[in-house]
Structure 1
Amino acid sequence: MSRIERAEVFVASPGRNFVTLRITTSDGVTGLGDATLNGRELAVASYLRDHLVPLLIDRDPARIEDMWQFLYKGAYWRRGPVTMTAISAVDTALWDIKGKVAGLPVYQLLGGRSRHGVTVYAHASGADVPSLLDDVERFLELGYRAVRAQAAVPEVGGTYGVRKGAGIYEPASTALPDEQPWDTDAYLGFAPTYLEAVRERFGFGFHLLHDVHHRLTPIEAAQFGKRVEGCRLFWMEDPTPAENQEAFRLIRRHTTTPIAVGEVFSSIWDVQQLITEQLIDYVRTTVVHAGGITHLRRIFDLAALYQVRTGSHGATDLSPVTLAAAVHLDTAVPNFGIQEYMPHAPETLEVFRSGVRFADGMLVPSEEPGLGVEYDAEAAARFPYQPRYLPVARRLDGSVHDW
């Protein structure tokens, strides 16, 4: 019987920091898992090396469910982003191995196709409204069917979601937190105007999304959602911090703008009320932070019972391993909604070689057995870890605000 013979943890920065787990069986089959937690990468790497890897050796790689329960229940200290990201890496690597042993892509092990391709959305942004409109046009010309729009609030620095220059948007850019100013009133006055400008210029033939990024109180979010109803947003994302899930009931009372929540959550219990009480329309939990393919499938199945659709986080702080795993799961589940997608940097693609393809506004999974991703450890060694921290937002009076 095949056994887990080796588990290696790689920390590298090809374009940005990634933590990767590679499990090798006694039969020589390897599986990859992503363990990246933006700004806390070394905490997860340590959790894997010091606590989980010793538990994996000589165990049966085929017992994915048992392994998940063993690592989750056996730790006693449950949940949390560090623990669940580490478990996710193990789980995803085992699914990769199972697919390779079976000779099938992972989506076939999950029940086969529910769709031909996975609709994705792009990230358009601008330092002002004209540059945002140009960026939206660029993505529409590339064939995207859905675009998220963010623009810098005039005279307020540090606006979330706006790229610096022409490169890939990456908020974790300094070794210590970049403390950015924030003005809610200025945002509430400005953001609806640029969303309206997008619709006025390009019409309604594509999905338009917007990320509030936890910046508003529930009543402010309700006001925003009501104001932009004419824009017919696909969703407003994270309108208010979701720890108080009851707060979303207030938003629901005042606006029909759809709500998406969940990228910072790591378990089914974190989103249970949001789903079962239909306080959201899209759940954004993702493979790497919500317990891997095994646990994310549970979240999606619960959501399907309440007509909540999927919309997994998929920025470039998730490696191509997570993107591939997400596309396999998105391909199979019946209640898929949309998938966030940001193409990775060229350096990233030197280290991770993925069979995921973009065409006609959609991603298509690899037909190779497993996830269809290869990891080049020698190439990764050329890109050592670099300390990076996510920003911190401060109101104009100096007090800390939700970033």
Structure 2
Amino acid sequence: MKIVDARVIVTCPGRNLVTLKIETDEGIYGIGDATLNGRELAVVAYLEEHVAPALIGRDPSSIEDIWQFFYRGAYWRRGPVTMSAIGAVDMALWDIMGKAAGMPLYKLLGGKSRERVMVYGHATGHDIEGCLEEVARHVEQGYRAVRVQCGIPGIASTYGVAKKAGERYEPADSSLPSENVWSTSKYLNHVPKLFQAVRERFGDDLHVLHDVHHRLTPIEAARLGKEVEPYHLFWLEDCVPAENQSAFRMIRQHTTTPLAVGEVFNSIHDCRELIESQSIDYIRATLTHAGGITHVRRIAALAELYHVRTGFHGPTDLSPVCMGAALHFDTWVPNFGIQEHMPHSEETEAVFPHAYRFEDGHFTPGEVPGHGVDIDEAMAAKYPYKRASLPVNRLEDGTLWHW
């Protein structure tokens, strides 16, 4: 079997999604997700100019060698653009091999470690009461785990809060970056009240998660982790920027609240120190942005040695292709923790028919050979690319801050 074509498909059924389709001389094809939110066309150019031409004529079963070729063979290694391109190639090759073998991806990886994959949903509200109503809606839908985010008094807009009740949270909604205002003191003073209210209404059995989105310093994060301990969060996510991996050691010294990080990571080197020092509890790297199944499998294997579990990023800034592949990975990986889930739009579901199913707060990946997600190219062509940018953040005095 040889690769005869590799094409990039860009579509925007609600938001921009990038798909790589690799075709073989035996008529078998595979698809991979190459979406990098807010920088989609940078990955498109990387794939079309540097990757796709070098795939032609290669044996698609040589997954490891092809991964090494595009990683080691590029003098300028790593980075989100490069690793998203490699991730798309890798995902598509695993898809091809699953189809060629007549096996769902999880069997190709080594078989099931569990029967179903627990996911968490997103509940947001402009105030605490609004957020509680959204939590109730998710509980009614069967979710056992919910990420909670609410507006902060005195701050006009807050990360993770939808513009209207019941709507999806879609931050990439303008062609140029909008600017938000942030106050750490107002946030720290208010957000523990949210967790108290959630526990008072829903009790102790619901898994509660929260995303800080890199906005605190280590000592501020330590304070927050300590203050929310009575509400036993499932995790506190991205409490500080992780470029300084040792910062998490300081946080760990002050709190027993579980810590999660890694959705912006793109290699094992971004999290090696965090894992080996046992400074985190969950690693959130994605199959798309961290170089595909081949590389994330290495990250998961390292994490397993240090009691760190997976908790992959999985909102709608990744396509159903990544979700499908992730669910197969989640079904196999021994140190699974939880999987993020945000429902895609009906238009996106139509463009990407898939085999995975949601029931009672869990997903199953399906038994279709490969990762079980396809693309309807005619439908995808109905939704052309639209430039969209993520916001930026400023403190109240105008200082640019972490978004």
User: TM-score, normalized by length of structure 1?
Assistant: 0.99
* Corresponding position: 1:348 with 2:348: yes
CA distance in 2, matches of 1:397, 1:59: 55
User: Does the 8 A contact of 1:15 with 1:346 survive in 2?
Assistant: no
> Contact 1:35–1:44 (CA<8 Å) still a contact in 2?
yes
Partner of 2:29: 30
Give 1:114 shift: 0.2
Equivalences, count? 402
The offset of 1:76, in angstroms, is 1.2
3-state SS of paired residue (2:279): coil
2:363 counterpart letter in structure 1: L
Moved more, 335-344 or 155-164: 155-164
The equivalent of 1:394 in structure 2 is 394
What secondary structure is seen at the aligned counterpart in 2 of 1:23?
A: strand
Q: How far apart are residue 168 of structure 1 and its match?
A: 1.3
1:158 Cα deviation after fit: 2.2
Task: Tell me if structure 1 keeps the 8 A contact 2:18–2:34.
Answer: yes
- Could you list the runs of 5+ residues in structure 1 that have no partner in the other structure? none
User: Which region of structure 1 is more displaced relative to structure 2, 272-281 or 161-170?
Assistant: 161-170
Structure 2 Cα separation of the partners of residues 366 and 66 of structure 1: 28
Asked if the contact 1:62/1:94 (under 8 Å) is kept, the reply is yes
| 1:149 correspondence with 2:148 | yes
Q: How far apart in 1 are the matches of 2:95 and 2:46?
A: 21
Partner of 1:299 in structure 2? 299
What does 1:16-95 correspond to in 2, within 5 Å? Answer: 16-95=15-94
Contact persistence 1:4–1:58 (CA under 8 A): yes
Q: Once the two structures are superposed, what CA deviation does each residue of 1:211-265 show, in whole Å capped at 9, x if it has no partner? A: 0110100000000000000000000000000000111111001000000000000
Counterpart for residue 100 of structure 1 = 99
Structure 2 distance, partners of 1:247, 1:233, is 20
Aligned position for 1:379: 379
Match of 2:317? 317
Aligned-residue offset at 1:155: 2.2
Q: Which residue of 2 aligns with 1:361?
A: 361
- SS of 2:57's equivalent in the other structure is coil
What SS does the corresponding residue of 1:149 show, helix, strand or coil? strand
Distance 2:321 2:40 in 1: 16
Partner of residue 240, structure 1? 240
Structure 1 distance, partners of 2:109, 2:360, is 24
**Distance across 2 between alignment mates of 1:169 and 1:256:** 29
| 1:348-391 deviations in Å (ceiling 9; x for gaps) | 01110011100111010020000111101110111000000001
User: How far does residue 205 in structure 1 lie from its aligned partner after superposition?
Assistant: 1.1
**TM-score, normalising length from structure 2?**
0.99
SS in 1 for 2:374: strand
Q: Supply the distance in 2 between the matched residues of 1:225 and 1:236 (Cα, whole angstroms).
A: 7
Q: The residue matched to 1:192 in structure 2 has which SS?
A: helix
Q: 1:163 corresponds to which residue?
A: 162
Separation in structure 2 between the aligned mates of residue 220 and residue 157 of structure 1, nearest angstrom? 22
CA RMSD of aligned residues (A): 0.6
Does the residue aligned with 1:353 lie in a helix, a strand or coil? coil
**2:168, 2:141 → 1: CA distance?**
16
Taking every aligned residue pair, what percent have the same amino acid on both sides?
60
Pair 1:193-2:193 in alignment: yes
Q: Cα distance, 1:196 vs. partner?
A: 0.8
Specify the code of the residue in structure 2 equivalent to 1:227: E
SS at match of 1:125: strand
Q: Which runs of 5+ in 2 are unaligned?
A: none
Q: Distance in 1 between matches of 2:195 and 2:362?
A: 23
* One-letter amino acid matched to 1:286: T
Residue of structure 2 in register with 1:130 after alignment: 129
Distance 2:168 2:379 in 1: 21
For 2:20 and 2:153, how far apart are their aligned partners in 1? 43
Which residue number in structure 2 is paired with residue 229 of structure 1?
Answer: 229
Question: Do the aligned partners of 2:260 and 2:282 also contact (CA within 8 Å) in 1?
Answer: yes
- Please give the per-residue CA displacement for 1:21-74, whole angstroms capped at 9, x wherever unaligned: 000000010100000000000000000000000100010001000000001001
Partner of 1:176: 176
Residues 268-292 of structure 1: CA deviation (Å, up to 9, x unaligned): 0110000011010000001000000
Distance in 1, matches of 2:346 and 2:168, equals 11
What are the equivalent positions in structure 2 for 1:327-346 lying under 5 Å apart?
A: 327-346=327-346
Equivalent-residue separation in structure 2 for 1:388 and 1:208 (angstroms): 31
Letter in 1 for 2:377: A
Residue 277 of structure 1 corresponds to 277
Q: Is the 8 A contact 2:154 2:186 kept in 1?
A: no
Q: Aligned to 2:353, what secondary structure does the other structure show? A: strand
- Aligned equivalents of 2:262, 2:374: Cα separation in 1: 29
